[in-house]
Amino acid sequence: MPEFSLCSNPQCALPNNELTATDCVSCGESLLLNGQYRIVELLGQGGFGRTFKAIDEEHPQKKYCAIKQFLPQQVQAKEKVIELFEQEAKRLQTLGNHNQIPALYDYFQVGDRQYLVQEFIDGKNLAQELEELGKFTAADITKLLKELLPVLRIIHRRQVIHRDIKPENIIRRTPTKATEKSTLVLVDFGASKHATETTLGKTGTMIGSAAFIAPEQVRGKATFASDLYSLGVTCIHLLTAIAPFDLLDTGDNKWVWQDFVDKKFDPKLTRILNKLLEPATNRRYQQADDVLEDLHAPARAKKFPLKGAIAATLIIGLGVVGANALLTPIRQKLNPSVVVQNPDLPPFPAGLYATIDGNEQNLTLKNTEVDAKVSGNIAEVEVIQTFANPYDQPLEAIYKFPLPDDAAVDDMEIKIGNQTIRGVIKRSEEAEAIYEEAKEDGKTAALLEQERDNIFTQSLANILPGEEIEVTIRYSNSLKFEGEDYEFVFPMVVAPRYGDGNIQASSIGGATSAKALPKNRSGQDISVNLEIDAGVPIQNLTSPTHEIATQSLSGSTGISLANADEIPNKDLIVRYQVTGKETQATMLAQADQRGGHFATYLIPAVDYQKDEIVPKDVVFLMDTSGSQRGAAIRQSKELMRQFIQGLNPQDTFTIMDFSNTTKKLSRVPLDNTETNRQKALKYVNKISANGGTELMNGINEVMTFPEAEDGRLRTIVLLTDGLIGDDRTIIGMMEKQLKPGNRIFTFGVGYSTNHFLINRLAEVGRGESEILPESEDPKGVVAEFFEEINNPVLTNVEVSWVGGGDRPEIYPEHMPDLYDSQPLVLHGKKGDRQNGQLKVTGTIAGGKPYEKVFDVNFDQVQGNGAIAQLWGRAKIKEYMNDMYWMETTEGVNTVTNTALDYRLVSDYTSFVAVSDEVRVDSRAETLTQDVPLEKPEGMEFDALNAPTSAGSASTDDMAAESAIAPTPNTNQAPQAQTTPVPVAKNVAPSQQSNNGNSKDVPEPSHIIGNLLVLITLGFFFWKRRQQKKAKQSG
């Protein structure tokens, strides 16, 4: 328990005060820093300021936090202090939330002093551990490296160099629960820098602790490898308990740490540490992934003492190769039906498989059935997942799957035989605890969690051998309206994502490998049935992604997938139009015990002058990473050609393209002249797709552009698939840094697009988003885009309430500008259920006022229950948009309470369902299997796994992994295929079976094989003869 409340004034003579005091008795300064934080302990101080432990008085649990006070000891250092303050705040925001990096809660300035408020890490740093426990062992250092290197990988991918890694800046977090493990946390990012920035100050400015920094860092030239060097120095200091300067022979410029450890010290770890400590940067490890790869590699075998054994091994190897080639035609002659399949073809029908003991086996997710009904503008969807256990042990299945990013997921139940168990909504940590306890007790349990706004995880524990269990998930969402089309979307794939620090891309990528999963899937493992009841007749029903079949129902239209045998692995999009203009202004109301809820859809029917075009400064931002390779980059380039040709005479423009690095057509926007258009077209034509999706770099470049001049609109047009791991960080940064007058328009281009990122960026940027299937005509898309942005239909939109009671709680809080055929969608709640009118006002292009009034009546209205759920989802979305940059206590509490009140899955709430009876012996061994997802159609996995430069994703992060499962119970597993295996395409002649009509002409490879056998045998006998002669002469 704290004893004092400390004054933050560095000149205060008597800083200690009573714990409950509000003002310092010595100097009179407030003891509540920024009106919120009470300092209770000095943790440390240095040349640039002090660090305190404080209590957040506004937090419900009075949570501890760490506060950095930036305070120079010399007047001339003030600029450096301000620079370090802004730098650390920026770095922590860039890095986002990670349990091994302290979270940033707040930053502010009081008087002439700057403050950072961070997560308080309760624990001891490694310097303290060394002093108390003594030297670290080789096992301790190996564990340390395995725990810290993934953190460095994350910060380096964010283009951040820490520059001050040392034992004092590594804290072992004390577990808060008995079941938790201690983790190492990397702290103090005050010295960090962005990899693309110039060095702080001029060359020669040294930031960091001198004993631990790399030679190039001393010269002010820090790189990612500099952090690895500092980590290496930290390791040898912990191993020896000797100061780093005493471990370096300055005469030979050589580390002598091995003189202070046991002679039998782990040789593999020795090699790794010495490579970390290489003075020359080009001989040192360049990336954290490289070190991890060596750490996980098996130890080298001891050298065999006889040199002759090496030659013998080569001889035997050559003999085996030759013999195999010699025997191949004989095997084929004895068994002419044998065919060597093309490895790119799956050995089983398309579906979900795992590789088990080298063989493809059926996975636990047998089928997904989707039943959706559209009523007016709202879709209510039921997803039924059937899991089966083909093994002879109890099974836990874990399946990650996509849903629409705006889905209000409000129900989950499991069906075991004739028993149905409905899930309950709980705080996520409570739901997980209930699930784990049920799993340990032998009960069947299901847990539905939100991993991202559009990615969910279904865990199902204790499926009995041979048993099938159904999991039903229900959600509702609003249809998107664009142009004249309503659009229903059901996502079918989760593509691999680049550079994911919190959720590994491999875990959500899902494919066993590029070869194992084809671009199509069996119609037996997914079915979709959609019913559209628009209230009026519909027309022009199409799907740009799948072949569909339609049928007329009673007052509605039924839609299903036409080709049940082969379904493309891509998101399903269905579009349709309605006859008449009735839906241009719709008010839907609903009332229950929680209050009255309403949803408003408005497309302003106004006349405006289309010749009053606002001049624009357009920045085109193109994704040219490896995931765009193939048809995606071709579509993106064709879009760019159309964009360039469609600009207005008064517009200016430039182009930036990003992958690992960012390139640009020009440093400033160019005038729209013929010369500049031709220059831009040549630039586009030379673009190719390769590398990682470093969208952050592209965004940072755009943000450096000056604000648009008065009377001009800065328009940012982003073309991307959005397949990045840190999408929330991007959204938060864009929302925080977007300049006034800027608008963001996003186009999802690629084989599988991240709808969440593409939609949210457009929302926070007050623009529009569009997802483009491969079949979409770029010319029509671009023409529609320019027609929209050239003429904002309605601006300065405001919503007011006319009537009794309190004003409704309406989301979104900030109304966007409306473009041609773009609807205004509002979700409201009136807790007192008093009737009234909703008034929408604005300014029509040309300056005329606009007003539309809706009657809102909750009397005797039951209405569609989805209206209430969509309001809850809209409120959560509003608060989450504000917290992608930084979580707040108020925001977390509001989202959690809203999700609990409306039974919604969120970042902080999950569904859990548990059977009453114990179904599995708690002592029995249980298998756990991750169910992989299909590879998106057209995506080239070799493009994702292609070697990239430092800071880009590794193969492990981009490739999708297979789930390795035990051998299935042959009594329960599906029967083996009895149909003949088809002859594979593109098989070499030597691999095809002989039908008896051709002569047995030896292949060149067989002739070479025969020669190899003869040469090998000859060499062997010659060697033996030489050895005998040597013995006789000896």
Residue 104 is encoded by which pair of tokens?
Answer: 């940033």
Residue 832 is encoded by which pair of tokens?
Answer: 């007192």
Residue 996 is encoded by which pair of tokens?
Answer: 């008896």
In the chain, the amino acid numbered 773 is P
Strand order in the sheet with 37-46: 32-33, 37-46, 49-56, 64-70, 113-119, 104-110
On the CB side of 178, CA atoms within 13 Å amount to 0
Q: How far apart are CA 463 and CA 444, in angstroms?
A: 7
The residue whose two tokens read 């990012």 is: 189
- 812 upstream amide cis, omega within 30 of 0: yes
Q: How far apart are CA 368 and CA 872, in angstroms?
A: 27
Q: How far apart are CA 11 and CA 641, in angstroms?
A: 63
Beta partners for residue 370, in sequence order: 383, 528
Q: How far apart are CA 898 and CA 873, in angstroms?
A: 9
Q: How far apart are CA 1026 and CA 1008, in angstroms?
A: 27
Alpha-carbon dihedral 365, 369, 374, 378, rounded to 10 degrees: -20
* Residue 122 annotated as catalytic: no
Given the residues 112, 122, 164, 727, the one annotated as active site: 164
Q: How far apart are CA 158 and CA 96, in angstroms?
A: 10
Q: Are the CB atoms for 637 and 687 separated by under 8 Å?
A: yes
On the CB side of 151, CA atoms within 13 Å amount to 22
Q: Are the CB atoms for 783 and 756 separated by under 8 Å?
A: no
Q: How far apart are CA 573 and CA 592, in angstroms?
A: 33
Residue 573 is encoded by which pair of tokens?
Answer: 């999009």
**Residue 784 class from Cβ within 10 Å (0-12 exposed, 13-18 middle, 19+ buried)?**
middle
Phi/psi-derived region of residue 310, left when phi > 0, alpha when psi is between -120 and 50, beta in every other case: alpha
Q: How far apart are CA 434 and CA 339, in angstroms?
A: 52
Q: How far apart are CA 696 and CA 693, in angstroms?
A: 9
463: nearest Cα among 413, 398, 396: 396
Catalytic residues, by residue number, are 164
